[in-house]
């Protein structure tokens, strides 16, 4: 079995729940990035003025704060992580994305 990169997107108020879910699943390392994003249901069919100032204003008006937490785990632990996330974040909004890791090179 190989490695997978797992990205979990959550609302900022649910980061603690996600970190506990990751601990439940035996995840030993991760990184997190806070960002502003636009959900597909808010963006679908929407067209903005291409003026830079108006585009930035639209992005600020439409976007929401969110956190992306990323980890790399053995593929055979993925189901445990997904189960833990479902349990800890039941009723909360989240997105899980998984990608195969073809190579890891660490120096130092």
**Mean pLDDT of residues grouped by 10 in the chain (108 residues)?**
95 97 96 89 73 84 93 97 98 97 91
The DSSP code sequence of the chain is --EEEEEEEE-GGGHHHHHHHHHHTT----EEEEEEE--HHHHTT-----SHHHHHHHHHHH-EEEEEEEEEEEGGGHHHHHHHHHHHTTTS-EEEEEEEE-------
Q: Each residue of 79-92: b (16+ CB within 10 Å) or e?
A: eebbebbeebbeee
Q: Domains, the chain, ranges and CATH? A: 3-101 (3.30.70.120)
3-state secondary structure of 30: coil
What is residue 52's predicted lDDT score, i.e. its pLDDT? 86
What is residue 46's predicted lDDT score, i.e. its pLDDT? 67
Q: For residues 89 and 10, is the Cβ–Cβ distance under 8 A?
A: yes
């Amino acid at each position: 079995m190989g490695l997978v990169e797992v990205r979990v997107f959550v609302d900022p108020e649910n980061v603690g729940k996600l970190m506990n879910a990751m601990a439940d699943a035996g995840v030993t390392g991760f990184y997190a990035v806070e960002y502003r994003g636009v959900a597909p249901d808010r963006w679908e069919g929407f067209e903005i003025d291409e003026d830079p100032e108006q585009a930035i204003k639209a992005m600020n008006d439409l976007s929401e704060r969110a956190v992306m937490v990323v980890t790399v785990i053995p593929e055979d632990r993925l189901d445990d992580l997904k189960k833990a996330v479902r349990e800890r974040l039941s009723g909360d909004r989240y997105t899980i994305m998984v990608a195969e890791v073809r190579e890891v090179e660490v120096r130092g």
